[in-house]
């Protein structure tokens, strides 16, 4: 199951004068929403796509329309009537009636990031859950500290605390629904931040001996569109350069 949480309020876009959520904004011949989904169409063709959203801006109608245009038929739409305590709780609410996420587990990805040409790591590389990373710097990411082995085992994760050069792309995988729920319940007992992020909950699985891994991709293989300056950089030529790059990945 591939899960897209999309209940954020797009605050920075509203403050910059945009009157729609960022995922509804046009980008080339599509929308930002389209590109977030399109990167997973090949890898996830046998998976269920779950979209978790609020009722604002007629989002449900928008999502159904865009999924139809993309030819996506294996989708679940979950509507929330209130905000949550963070992305991890949003995902939990979207899994309320789910007991089995299938052979690929739960893959969580941001609706404001594009991952053209995504493929799942091998089962050996996945362990019992994994985080996808790139080599970067700054303090506005989730971070992974590895054990230094060839197996890329994770010994610690943090949110906006740069403990290593391994910055998360926003793609998180859990082998089972039960692992995700249990780890989130543990995080609630003593939250590491003022909201429930996904990356820190892996620490609870690591503590009980779960084999959590991380993968590393080239930074150019992930495209961020979470703030106005990133969106405007992609659209300055009408989105043509971005669309060419995206299509090259998906050939």
Domain(s) labelled CATH 3.90.550.10 in the chain stretch across: 1-119+223-251, 121-217
Q: Is the pTM of this model over 0.85?
A: yes
**Which conformational region is residue 17 in: left (phi greater than 0), alpha (psi within -120 to 50 degrees), or beta?**
left
pLDDT by residue (tens digit) across 28-64?
Answer: 999 999 999 999 999 988 899 999 999 888 999 999 9
pLDDT tens digit sequence for 190-227: 998 999 999 999 999 999 999 999 999 999 999 999 99
Q: Does domain 121-217 have CATH number 3.90.550.10?
A: yes
Region 92-103 average pLDDT: 90
Query: Which CATH fold would you assign to the domain 1-119+223-251?
Result: Spore Coat Polysaccharide Biosynthesis Protein SpsA; Chain A (3.90.550)
pLDDT over 90 for what percent of the chain? 85
Contact 92, 184 (CB under 8 A): yes
């Amino acid at each position: 199951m591939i899960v897209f949480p999309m209940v954020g309020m797009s605050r920075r876009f509203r403050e910059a004068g945009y009157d729609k959520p960022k995922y509804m904004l046009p980008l080339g011949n599509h929308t930002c929403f389209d590109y977030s989904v399109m990167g997973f169409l090949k890898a996830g063709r046998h998976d269920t796509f779950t979209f978790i959203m609020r009722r604002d801006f007629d989002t449900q109608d928008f999502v159904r329309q865009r999924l139809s245009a993309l030819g996506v038929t294996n989708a679940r739409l979950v509507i929330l009537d209130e905000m949550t305590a963070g992305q991890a709780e949003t995902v939990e609410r979207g899994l309320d009636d789910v007991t089995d996420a299938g052979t690929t587990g739960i893959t969580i990805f941001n609706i404001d990031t594009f991952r053209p040409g995504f493929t799942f790591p091998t089962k050996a590389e996945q362990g019992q859950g994994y985080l996808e990373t790139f080599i970067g710097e700054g303090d506005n990411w989730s971070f992974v500290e590895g054990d230094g082995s060839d197996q890329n085992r994770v010994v610690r994760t943090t949110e906006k605390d740069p403990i290593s050069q391994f910055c998360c792309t926003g793609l998180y995988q859990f082998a089972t629904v039960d692992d995700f729920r249990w780890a989130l319940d543990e995080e609630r007992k003593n939250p590491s931040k003022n909201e429930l992020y996904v990356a820190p909950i892996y620490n609870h699985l690591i503590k009980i001996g779960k084999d959590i891994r991380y993968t590393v991709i080239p930074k150019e293989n992930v495209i961020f569109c979470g703030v106005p300056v990133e969106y405007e950089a992609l659209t300055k030529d009408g989105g043509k350069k971005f669309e060419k790059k995206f299509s090259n990945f998906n050939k």
